[in-house]
């Protein structure tokens, strides 16, 4: 069954005091009776803090990236096994800020998703086109290629991931995809997943999601939740998106 999930991606934001206030608000306000799952993906140094604050709550937590390697000489990287030790349920892989800023290829993103699954984490695998690609009419080809790379590596385990469609031009810009445009891309992704025997994968939308636009996006039949950046740093906004 497609799980409804609203996940926050804090990116490189936060400090111990601010996090404590935000995590406590979420832990206190979000109950197991909610119809959706709520999660926060925090910077790696704050995983222990998230674990301590959220372990008795209905809010899950995760990381923003994971190494494709199990262990070894990979300076600065964090393995899936380490994330599991801190109680993570999720690891974002293939965020556009890592594809662009860290040169992550489709193949590497797929290897990261595989490493996450092997350790028992749920990868939230991001796909999405740049503004140039959209204007050239290449949106469908780009996201199809990105998802195909995941399916090629994950095979029968594709059904165990979460996909996030994040048009790069909508990230942090205040420019959200129109619900119908996002739905159109989600429909294509759904068809590709179905063909791979993974039609029940949840597909999140990400890119300038706010409390004010969440309900319209989440009302679309193939939008199963949201991956929220900036608005996830504000407890009221984030909770409102979770309940939209
Ligand atoms: P914003 O919600 O800040 O646009 O970020 C979206 C995003 O990149 C989530 O992963």
The C-alpha atoms of residue 159 and residue 113 are separated, in whole angstroms, by 12
Nearest CA to ligand 1 atom 1: 229
Residues annotated as part of the active site:
95, 166
Separation of CA 170 and ligand 1 centre (Å) = 8
Alpha helices in the chain (DSSP H): 16-29, 47-54, 80-85, 96-101, 106-119, 131-135, 139-154, 179-195, 211-218, 235-242
Domain range enclosing 164: 5-242
Instruction: Give, for ligand 1, the residue of 8, 203, 230 to mutate: max count of ligand atoms closer than 8 Å to Cβ.
Output: 230
Instruction: Give, for ligand 1, the residue of 12, 90, 171 to mutate: max count of ligand atoms closer than 8 Å to Cβ.
Output: 171
Ligand 1 atom closest to the Cα of residue 209 is: 2
Q: What does the block give as tokens for 186?
A: 């989600």
pLDDT band at 216 (very low <50, low <70, confident <90, very high): very high
Question: Which residues form the pocket of ligand 1, taking CB atoms under 6 Å from any ligand atom?
Answer: 9, 95, 166, 171-172, 206-209, 227-231
User: Mind listing the pLDDT tens digit for each residue in 144-202?
Assistant: 999 999 999 999 999 999 999 999 999 999 888 999 999 999 999 999 999 999 999 99
Alpha helices in 196-234 (DSSP H): 211-218
The C-alpha atoms of residue 124 and residue 165 are separated, in whole angstroms, by 10
Ligand 1 atom closest to the Cα of residue 126 is: 10
Q: Among 83, 70, 61, 168, which Cα is nearest to 111's?
A: 70
Ligand 1 atom closest to the Cα of residue 95 is: 10
pLDDT band at 35 (very low <50, low <70, confident <90, very high): confident
CATH code, domain with 198: 3.20.20.70
User: Mind listing the pLDDT tens digit for each residue in 70-105?
Assistant: 999 999 999 999 999 999 999 999 999 999 999 999
Total tally of structural domains belonging to the chain: 1
Whether residue 204 contacts residue 225, with contact meaning beta carbons closer than 8 Å, is answered with yes
């Amino acid at each position: 069954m497609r799980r409804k999930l609203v996940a926050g991606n804090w990116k490189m934001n936060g400090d111990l005091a601010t996090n404590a206030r935000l995590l406590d608000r979420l832990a206190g306000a979000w109950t197991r009776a909610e119809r959706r799952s709520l999660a926060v993906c925090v910077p790696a140094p704050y995983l222990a803090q998230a674990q301590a604050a959220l372990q008795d709550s209905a809010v899950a937590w995760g990381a923003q990236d994971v190494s494709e390697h199990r262990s070894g000489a990979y300076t600065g990287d964090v393995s899936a096994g380490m994330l599991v030790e801190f109680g993570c349920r999720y690891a974002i892989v293939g965020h556009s800020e890592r594809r662009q800023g860290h040169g992550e290829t489709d193949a590497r993103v797929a290897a990261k998703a595989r490493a996450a699954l092997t350790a028992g984490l749920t990868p939230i695998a991001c796909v999405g086109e740049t503004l140039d690609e959209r204007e050239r009419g290449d949106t469908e080809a780009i996201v199809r290629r990105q998802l195909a790379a995941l399916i090629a590596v994950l095979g029968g385990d594709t059904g165990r991931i979460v996909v996030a469609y994040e048009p790069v031009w909508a990230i942090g810009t205040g420019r959200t995809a129109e619900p119908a445009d996002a739905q159109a891309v989600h429909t294509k992704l759904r068809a590709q997943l179905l063909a791979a025997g993974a039609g029940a994968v949840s597909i999140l939308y990400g890119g300038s999601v706010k409390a004010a636009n969440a309900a319209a996006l989440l009302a679309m039949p193939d939008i199963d939740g949201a991956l929220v950046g900036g608005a996830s740093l504000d407890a009221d906004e984030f909770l409102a998106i979770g309940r939209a």
